[in-house]
Amino acid sequence: MAKCLSCSRPMPTDEDHGGVHPQNEWCSNCCHPDGSRKTYDELVAGFMAWVQSESCERMGFPRAVTQREARARAEATYLMSPAWKGIE
């Protein structure tokens, strides 16, 4: 099964791929609706918002209490991926 090169999300269906393009190596969360890649800053901001939300807790993950914790978790997620190696 394909995994997103940005966030490592599994992409078992075409709809999981950015722009619903099965050849896109980035997932729908890491792309704009047209399939173009979001910037690193866009991804970090989106992840920060998610880890501070109730949705995060409903999915069984601990909610980040502070902006600093949210940023650290977002950067740890993305900086470990092949797409963002070397970003600082």
For the chain, how many residues are written?
88
Per-residue pLDDT of 47-64, as tens digits, reads: 899 889 998 889 898 898
How far is residue 56 from each of residues 37, 67, 71, 74, 85, measured CA to CA in Å? 23, 15, 15, 13, 25
Q: Kindly state the tokens that stand for 2.
A: 């394909």
Per-residue pLDDT of 6-53, as tens digits, reads: 888 899 999 999 999 999 999 999 999 999 999 989 998 998 998 899
* Predicted TM-score (pTM) of this structure: 0.78
Residue 37 bridge partners (DSSP): 31
Answer yes or no: is pLDDT of 70 > 80: yes
Q: Tell me how far apart the alpha carbons of residues 37 and 29 are, in angstroms, rounded to a whole number.
A: 9
Residue 33 bridge partners (DSSP): none
Annotated domain spans of the chain: 1-37, 39-88
Answer yes or no: is pLDDT of 88 > 60: no
